[in-house]
Amino acid sequence: MKLFVKYDYDLVCKTVLKEQLDALNISHTHTTQGEVKIHDTINETTREQLVAALGRYGIQILSNPKETLVERIKNTINDLLNNKDLRTVKVSSYLSDTLLYSYAHLSTVFSESTYTSIENYMILKKVDLVKERICNSDLTLTEIAYQLDYSSVAHLSGQFKKTTGLTPSSFQKIMKNKNI
C-alpha cells in the first residue's frame, strides 16, 4: 500500500520549533519565516540542547550573518511565490522593502553565498511549484502558467525544459507511470 501525502513545510517547521522551544521553556515569538525572537538570554547548555533537538529535524540555527540573510531572502521569495496577492509585485522592490536592504546588497550577498542569482533561484522555485501542481492537481498547463504569473505556456515550458531537461508533458507522463 502506498500513502501519498502533501507537506506544508512552513507549518511543520513552525510546529517543530514551537514544540522544541516550549520543551526547553524558552520564551519566544515567531517574527517572520525562518526567524524566532528569543525573549530571554539562554545559557550555553540550553542552546546546545536546542541545537541538538532541532538538528534531529534537519533544522539548523544560523550564526553567520550572511547565511542568515540568504535564508531570509529565500524565505521571502518563497512567501512571495506562495502568496497569489504578491505575484505581480516587483521582486527587487519586495525584497528591499521586506528585508530593509538595497536590492544590490541582497543580490551580491545571495550570489556570493549560493553561486547563483536571485533570479535563477526564483526560476528554480517556480519550476518546483510547476512540478508540484503537475503531480498534485488536475490543472492544465495554461492554468498553472496563469497561477504562477507566467506570460504564456510557452514561457513556462521553456523554463521548465531548460531547468529539468524535460518538457512539462514528458515530466507529467513519467510521474503518472511512476505512480501506477
Task: Report the percentage of the chain scoring pLDDT > 70.
Answer: 97
Are residues 145 and 174 both part of a single domain?
yes
pLDDT of residue 44: 87
Are residues 44 and 73 both part of a single domain?
no
DSSP string, 26-82: --EEEEETTEEEESS---HHHHHHHHHHHHTTT-----SHHHHHHHHHHHHHHHHHH
Q: Average pLDDT in the 38-42 region?
A: 85
CATH number of the domain residue 151 falls in: 1.10.10.60
pTM of the model: 0.66
Are residues 40 and 14 both part of a single domain?
yes
pLDDT of residue 180: 55
pLDDT of residue 105: 92
Residue 17 confidence (pLDDT) above 60: yes
Are residues 108 and 159 both part of a single domain?
no
Angle at 56 between CA 76 and CA 82, to 5 degrees: 20
Are residues 26 and 69 both part of a single domain?
no
Q: Average pLDDT in the 14-22 region?
A: 87
Last residue within a domain, chosen from 21, 43, 61: 61
Q: Number of structural domains, the chain?
A: 3
> In whole numbers, what is the pLDDT of the chain averaged over residues?
85
Are residues 129 and 168 both part of a single domain?
yes
Are residues 149 and 131 both part of a single domain?
yes
d(C-alpha 109, C-alpha 156), whole Å? 28
Q: Average pLDDT in the 126-155 region?
A: 87
Most confident of 35-39, 108-112, 142-146: 108-112
Report whether 89 contacts 111 (CB < 8 A): no
Tens digits of residue pLDDT in 112-138:
999 999 999 999 999 999 998 888 888
d(C-alpha 69, C-alpha 81), whole Å? 18
Are residues 168 and 128 both part of a single domain?
yes
Domain of residue 26, residue span: 1-61
Residue 164 confidence (pLDDT) above 70: yes
Tens digits of residue pLDDT in 41-70:
888 888 888 888 888 888 888 777 788 889
